[in-house]
Structure 1
């Protein structure tokens, strides 16, 4: 017989006595074992054996599992088997676990061995025991019971001593001969899967070996490192312990201790690897399913089956302590990975899962663990951006309190934030948060830049940004970009302060604004938007407003967009420090200043201001660098502020365009020669001076002064047809410039003033006017102007060459009348056809109106006059059909004449070469050949014509 150090015989006798005294007790024990084997402890073999090993070791224990001769052997280190342990093994309802809450070595869970063996044996350094279904069936007094249950008997109620010895290096070994239906390899495979979790749940164990595969646990403070065949796994831990309160409802004399441990897998760098599915460990796995990201290992009151938590105050208290501990686990994770440990919303896996999640979320919401832009935040007060932008978060951190770090807006954090009920800061809330705040323009640009990448690809975000504030150059901030202007030339606009102008401050300009409705403004468009401000700038300056920013902005834009007529109103500083319209200022050092009158109203542009801008830019806004030229391609009236413009506008035909030099009236009288030379030097002013019908030449010709007279009162030296009428210009300007300025080069009458001037000169007795000049002048005057526009002259130039009183004078309208009129009474033109118009202009009668008539004579056909026929043949013209009335001696008005035309238009002449020649020339419309005809009639020989 084996030694019996644990008194197994006494234990057997007690059990057999109980079965004999109460036959139902046998059935109850058998049924209880079957329930444990098939129900509560099914699939918990390794869990229960590992728990026993951990209880025995307390710390640093080792557990080894192997198959030897179809026997599962589970060896462990730690406290060896004792009498209490054997008694606990042989009792289905008793346990060696104390009511203080400490854990004993063996408990009811040992019945899990029945899932694989009917002959379990426990071998220890202090002694060994075994259980046997076969030996129990062989007991004679149990034969009736055995027969009733078809051979099924309780296994763990009767214990026998064993002489087996424990394997070297271990203190206790459980040996389980496997029933035939048990697959040893499948059993070991299951153990391998459970080994790492058991090491984590049972801190008393330091290693578990399964058939040569070994897992070890190294506890380094808050981290446990599990090393096994698959590699190394790190778990971050947080532990807490305490005693249950008096209200726990356990009915114990002393309050049991509780322990809580949270564990989460982490990478080598400390990044958590959250769990998706797990079970509650108490401390070994239960059937309470959890959906938490970390594992909870807690000493909770559980049912005897160790599968379910017992409901009651104690469970609630321990779970509440676990929830309080959980944030400390979160704090151990780097900030941006903490949300991975937030239980995400979902259907609870169990009542425990639901209760835990509720308590954990409540704790997490009230502790400052959430990464913020400047400091850690409590989720209950935090706000998270919808847009994951670090730049945006930094900008808004001073505007939005309790703003979470921008990375939390990434999708991987969304479920955690939803579980924590953290307020989202979406585009409308961002707009509301920044509305009304005072920030520098570059702050706004950085805000736009931070939002832009997200608005670019999301129309909803763009729609919600319609009210995004926009700072303007005038200091205002508008609620929304729509209708504002974005400038291309921001360097010119930094100091621009124009009330009413919706121009975005250049330091705030960003492409996002254009996407949200701002209008892109090039230099030209922007310049046009400043027209109103320019036109009131002088008044604003007078009112004390600062207009320097406007001046620099306009000049900068003009360099890109060119000039505008209204820019002449731009207020610019003069040398006195006053602000004047640009077109009333001249650039210092301009050559044309030397030709202006001393009292000229033009000012001088401030020299320092002038140095900042090119002459072309200053000229484009109207500042005078020389004589300015006004160009208007579609004028509608005399509205260009030109001297005497109304008079010019009414002169001749209405102009189709205006190209005019301005400020001509400011030239000093004695500086006009120099002024004209300056006008000729500049292409623009020279073109204006030569503009057909243009204002410039018109005004200069009348109002400029050349040696004391207007240019139109002089003639050029080679203008021979004006000799006697106009004096030659005594100043050397060159014929081209002189002519352009209005100095006369020919006899021309453009208006009534020209006609009056010419008549005055013709009637001036001091002037010696050659006969040809006066005849041509009278011809030009005839029909040149409306006689109603001028008064008839008092004196006229007559054929004698004198200027006489006009009272007794007539206008020659027929050449035959010269024979009866004295030359000192006859005003004549080169062409008789204009006599009537000339007479009307001079208010004189025609000579024919006072002439007499002739009678007598014989009508002779021209063809009967032999010398006449010869003359016509030599000169090659046909003789008139009508004849001529020939007189031996012809008189008219009592005076002898050579030829005449009577009132019936009949031609009369004396039978003399002189009379016949004039009569034939007049009748044949060959008046210019009358002297040649006279010569032929006097000597009808071809040599007369040829010589």
Structure 2
């Protein structure tokens, strides 16, 4: 007799009685078993058996070992651990119960044992404490004894529940094992395929069931070491803590980094599960890693609960969680219990992320694709939220950041990220290329290089740090990883210790002298951004900084502004000494360059101890001290003398270049717009011009010359090329001013004429001998010709012409009137009309009694004392305007009263001969010849006078029959008035001899 330690007979009787009492119960059990075999537990044979083995090892507290073998067409799976007991047998024989105790085991001998039906209809479980067998054949025999049940079997084509009726067996497990499941394989089972499937599942089983440490197959052995292993195997221990290592003979070790959390379901959650005990849940994350511990993320997986389910996952790590599942163990049983476990798992995922090397953590961020299942979606959402709000991202400067507070460079520049991380508290450590895309859902801020550079404003770092930063940015620029525009806001340490934001306006000094560099730092010029020489990096030049030498520094607007306010600053008590030394040194180093005029504003010490503009100071040795008036030099005067000791410390040329006066200074403006150059009487000169001057070159300070020192002053002006050019500039201010305001012999130079200029004798007196050359005197305005340039000149000349004491020759008077007539319209209009004028006979008469000669035929009939004339009647209109007198033809109009004969010019043979001799064309028309031409003048009592020729109001020429009259009429008709006297001679003797004599 076979012993029955587990009282299987009682179990069979109870089941059979239940079936007989309710045939429907038989059908339900058969259907349930079939559902489990075909659906829920199909393809889960080894997983379910391994799970039971793990539970047994856990209960016994021993290393879990499993051995799989095939003996006589029978699959045998042996394990170590707790042996079979009555509760276990009851669980095996029940499709609705499990021997699971308080959550200690995964699920020993529950419905999962139905997986054996996939390969066997006669399964046995043998243990050191006894064994049980299940048999489809034996169950069918028992059922056949009951007519009611036999009918049910017939309806099911002979199918009966296999796992409801146990029988005792006296078999024992193999040596070294405590229990063995023996499964006689059905004929249709492919043994090789079955073993291959088991082989493929061993890695997952060992990972999922930490109680198992060894699995043996006929041709290979697998071992597990690491966390939760009851007895780690020394030869496969991973060098990385918290890593599970799974090894198979002759193959590389597979490693999984694990993080586990656990807890108890709440009473409310338990109620929703329909169980009495309060089970404990666990959640374990397993991440594939290499030998160094670097992650090898999963792309696709399923949720393990703890065995594989059909809940697909897209997370980088495997989740093994004791979540409630449906009876089939393929789908999660949705509800608050599952939600609680998944939330805790998401929290634990952070620990997994933090356990990975900072540089590798990005690999654990969930992908942004579509979730593979509802569980996947829930976990990804929970994990993403925690990654967003919790610290895990490595901070570049040390520590960790949450996704929401982290900033990541938008380019892959690790060295730059490391440097920036030292100063930007929210800067994530470099995470490699492609980091931004997976981090975007976590709220990470994308940081452009331009934004990162802007964030450096105001930081304090050693010079070496800045050079290292510039080196990194240069490499990035060369690799086109960043643009020059993005670096425009790059801070630059300055030579004076300040930090300026942006390279625009930054100067890179090309000066090697330490003294200059020290002066640049000491002067502390506001707005003068000179880079510290130790950071004068080529990058700065590439992105907009200017490399400058001494002249370049002098052209800096900030330095100019400092110079221009240096006098007020010095007067306010500020120390401008460093600025003065800096500017003078730069000027000295820039010798030979252009001299910016604004340097004259530089504050320099004066002899009285105060500060004055450089261009308001004279050198102690300046010859100007001998020509300027005494009241022009001093503390409150226009000029002062530079401090003697200060002047001795600097080269004279340097002081000259900043505007200190050694001789007269020149003002130059290539495009003058207004009379704003602080020249004496500049507005008056400007207004006297017909148009704005194209350029301006003028000597300043002429109004400071002492009246008695003008000869010496003029010698100084003529001794220097630049001042001489200003004096002699056509229409220039200096020549204009000297002629009117300099003093020679008690008068302005324009009062005098040069001794050799006889053409002005009678009108202008010869200049006294003042020891100056004629060229200097002429340049100073002493007259060498009769030029009238403006209203003042004109009025002076009119006064001289109207002076009875003067006796100018008649030609001088005629030319003087011609010069007055040539005045520009504006100047002519500004002339005050004279009360008296010099008339044709040389006398001076009242201006109201004269007219301007505009008709030469009047000369013979009008009193010369009533005529003012120029050397040509063509300018009579202009002369009349200047003198404000009528034209002579208006005062002495008349009409021809004598009788004459109109004869054509071509009919006058003598005239034709003269025209031929002179090469003139005989004019058309003719002349009225009178034996005695008489004209009655209007006014003056209507007197009738004799005339040699006349032109009446209709333009008809008249002449008396004489050579003088006819000659003038012919000269007028041919518009050759200059030949009138020659024509007269030829009319008297029309021969070539007369022409040539």
What is the TM-score normalised by the length of structure 1?
0.60
Alignment partner, residue 580 of structure 1: 612
Q: How far does the alpha carbon of each residue in 1:617-670 deviate from its partner, in whole angstroms, 9 at most, with x for none? A: 865664435432334556688765556778988999998755444445656899
Change (3 A) 1:406 1:572: farther
- Superposition RMSD in Å: 7.0
Task: Choose from 658, 664, 667 the match for 1:630.
Answer: 667
Alignment partner, residue 819 of structure 1: none
Please give the alpha-carbon distance, in whole angstroms, between the structure 1 residues aligned to 2:48 and 2:112: 6
Q: How far does the alpha carbon of each residue in 1:519-566 deviate from its partner, in whole angstroms, 9 at most, with x for none? A: 999979987899999888767876789989998999979979955667
Change (3 A) 1:152 1:93: same
Per the alignment, in what secondary structure is the counterpart of residue 262 of structure 1? strand
| Greater Rg over alpha carbons, structure | 1
Alignment partner, residue 110 of structure 1: 113
Alignment partner, residue 35 of structure 1: 35
Please give the alpha-carbon distance, in whole angstroms, between the structure 1 residues aligned to 2:754 and 2:606: 42
Please give the alpha-carbon distance, in whole angstroms, between the structure 1 residues aligned to 2:315 and 2:701: 91
Alignment partner, residue 329 of structure 2: 306
Q: Deviation of residue 62 (structure 1)?
A: 2.3
Change (3 A) 1:91 1:588: farther
Task: Choose from 171, 180, 189 the match for 1:173.
Answer: 180
Alignment partner, residue 943 of structure 2: none
Please give the alpha-carbon distance, in whole angstroms, between the structure 1 residues aligned to 2:694 and 2:816: 23
Q: Deviation of residue 39 (structure 1)?
A: 1.1
Please give the alpha-carbon distance, in whole angstroms, between the structure 1 residues aligned to 2:378 and 2:729: 99
Please give the alpha-carbon distance, in whole angstroms, between the structure 1 residues aligned to 2:480 and 2:358: 29
Alignment partner, residue 68 of structure 2: 65
Q: Deviation of residue 18 (structure 1)?
A: 5.4
Match status 1:282 vs 2:302: no
Alignment partner, residue 240 of structure 1: 261
**Contact in 2 for aligned 1:713/1:726 (Cα 8 Å):** no
Please give the alpha-carbon distance, in whole angstroms, between the structure 1 residues aligned to 2:107 and 2:531: 79
Q: Deviation of residue 224 (structure 1)?
A: 1.6
Match status 1:119 vs 2:122: yes
**Contact in 2 for aligned 1:57/1:78 (Cα 8 Å):** yes
Q: Deviation of residue 238 (structure 1)?
A: 2.4
Q: How far does the alpha carbon of each residue in 1:864-884 deviate from its partner, in whole angstroms, 9 at most, with x for none? A: xxxxxxxxxxxxxxxxxxxxx
Moved more, 580-589 or 646-655: 646-655
Q: Deviation of residue 200 (structure 1)?
A: 1.5
**Contact in 1 for aligned 2:301/2:318 (Cα 8 Å):** yes
Please give the alpha-carbon distance, in whole angstroms, between the structure 1 residues aligned to 2:199 and 2:326: 26
Task: Choose from 157, 160, 171 the match for 2:164.
Answer: 157
Alignment partner, residue 193 of structure 2: 186
**Contact in 2 for aligned 1:33/1:92 (Cα 8 Å):** yes
Alignment partner, residue 603 of structure 1: 640
Change (3 A) 1:602 1:174: same
Please give the alpha-carbon distance, in whole angstroms, between the structure 2 residues aligned to 1:385 and 1:574: 61
Alignment partner, residue 684 of structure 1: 722
Please give the alpha-carbon distance, in whole angstroms, between the structure 2 residues aligned to 1:441 and 1:165: 79
Please give the alpha-carbon distance, in whole angstroms, between the structure 2 residues aligned to 1:21 and 1:646: 134
Please give the alpha-carbon distance, in whole angstroms, between the structure 1 residues aligned to 2:74 and 2:342: 41
Q: How far does the alpha carbon of each residue in 1:490-523 deviate from its partner, in whole angstroms, 9 at most, with x for none? A: 898995558xxxx999899999999999999997
**Contact in 2 for aligned 1:715/1:743 (Cα 8 Å):** no
Per the alignment, in what secondary structure is the counterpart of residue 192 of structure 1? helix
Please give the alpha-carbon distance, in whole angstroms, between the structure 1 residues aligned to 2:710 and 2:461: 55
Per the alignment, in what secondary structure is the counterpart of residue 435 of structure 2? helix
Q: How far does the alpha carbon of each residue in 1:714-749 deviate from its partner, in whole angstroms, 9 at most, with x for none? A: 999999x9xxx9999898x9x8xx8546699x9955
Q: How far does the alpha carbon of each residue in 1:563-614 deviate from its partner, in whole angstroms, 9 at most, with x for none? A: 5667756666645564534431346766766776665343345789989999
Per the alignment, in what secondary structure is the counterpart of residue 226 of structure 2? strand
Alignment partner, residue 281 of structure 2: 258
Q: How far does the alpha carbon of each residue in 1:102-136 deviate from its partner, in whole angstroms, 9 at most, with x for none? A: 45643321110111222334454555554443455
Q: Deviation of residue 181 (structure 1)?
A: 3.5
Moved more, 520-529 or 21-30: 520-529
**Contact in 1 for aligned 2:541/2:547 (Cα 8 Å):** yes
Change (3 A) 1:323 1:641: closer
Alignment partner, residue 98 of structure 2: 95
Please give the alpha-carbon distance, in whole angstroms, between the structure 1 residues aligned to 2:450 and 2:733: 65
Please give the alpha-carbon distance, in whole angstroms, between the structure 2 residues aligned to 1:653 and 1:104: 116
Please give the alpha-carbon distance, in whole angstroms, between the structure 1 residues aligned to 2:680 and 2:336: 107
Q: How far does the alpha carbon of each residue in 1:54-99 deviate from its partner, in whole angstroms, 9 at most, with x for none? A: 1122253222334556543333333344454444334333433235
Alignment partner, residue 45 of structure 2: 45
**Contact in 2 for aligned 1:60/1:206 (Cα 8 Å):** yes
Q: How far does the alpha carbon of each residue in 1:876-928 deviate from its partner, in whole angstroms, 9 at most, with x for none? A: xxxxxxxxxxxxxxxxxxxxxxxxxxxx99xxxxxxxxxxxxxxxxx999xxx
Change (3 A) 1:90 1:544: same
Moved more, 614-623 or 581-590: 614-623
Please give the alpha-carbon distance, in whole angstroms, between the structure 2 residues aligned to 1:20 and 1:5: 26
Alignment partner, residue 896 of structure 2: none
Match status 1:330 vs 2:353: yes
Please give the alpha-carbon distance, in whole angstroms, between the structure 2 residues aligned to 1:743 and 1:148: 143
Please give the alpha-carbon distance, in whole angstroms, between the structure 2 residues aligned to 1:209 and 1:192: 10
Per the alignment, in what secondary structure is the counterpart of residue 82 of structure 2? coil
Match status 1:79 vs 2:82: yes
Change (3 A) 1:23 1:470: same
Q: Deviation of residue 264 (structure 1)?
A: 2.6
Please give the alpha-carbon distance, in whole angstroms, between the structure 1 residues aligned to 2:308 and 2:381: 22
Change (3 A) 1:11 1:748: closer
- Count of residues paired in the alignment: 760
Change (3 A) 1:280 1:577: farther
**Contact in 2 for aligned 1:259/1:299 (Cα 8 Å):** yes
Task: Choose from 187, 192, 205 the match for 2:212.
Answer: 205
Alignment partner, residue 225 of structure 1: 245
Please give the alpha-carbon distance, in whole angstroms, between the structure 2 residues aligned to 1:107 and 1:461: 71
Q: How does 1:659-678 map to 2 (within 5 A)?
A: 659-663=697-701
Q: Deviation of residue 675 (structure 1)?
A: 7.1
Q: How does 1:105-504 map to 2 (within 5 A)?
A: 105-126=108-129, 129-134=132-137, 136-137=139-140, 141=144, 144=150, 147-160=154-167, 166-210=173-217, 212-220=219-227, 222-228=242-248, 231-247=252-268, 248-249=270-271, 255-311=278-334, 314-335=337-358, 337-338=360-361, 340-343=363-366, 349-357=372-380, 360=383, 367-372=390-395, 379=402, 382=405, 384=407, 403=426, 405=428, 407=430, 412-416=435-439, 418=441, 420=442, 422=443, 424=445, 486=505, 495-497=524-526
Please give the alpha-carbon distance, in whole angstroms, between the structure 2 residues aligned to 1:186 and 1:258: 35
Q: Deviation of residue 42 (structure 1)?
A: 0.9
Please give the alpha-carbon distance, in whole angstroms, between the structure 1 residues aligned to 2:649 and 2:34: 106
Q: Deviation of residue 50 (structure 1)?
A: 1.0
Q: How does 1:850-889 map to 2 (within 5 A)?
A: none
Please give the alpha-carbon distance, in whole angstroms, between the structure 2 residues aligned to 1:568 and 1:160: 122
Q: Deviation of residue 51 (structure 1)?
A: 0.2
Q: Deviation of residue 291 (structure 1)?
A: 4.3
**Contact in 1 for aligned 2:493/2:531 (Cα 8 Å):** no
Moved more, 512-521 or 216-225: 512-521
Match status 1:56 vs 2:56: yes
Change (3 A) 1:428 1:633: closer
Per the alignment, in what secondary structure is the counterpart of residue 231 of structure 1? coil
Please give the alpha-carbon distance, in whole angstroms, between the structure 1 residues aligned to 2:675 and 2:30: 127
Q: How far does the alpha carbon of each residue in 1:378-432 deviate from its partner, in whole angstroms, 9 at most, with x for none? A: 7497364685689799889999xx83526589753554552x5x3747889979x
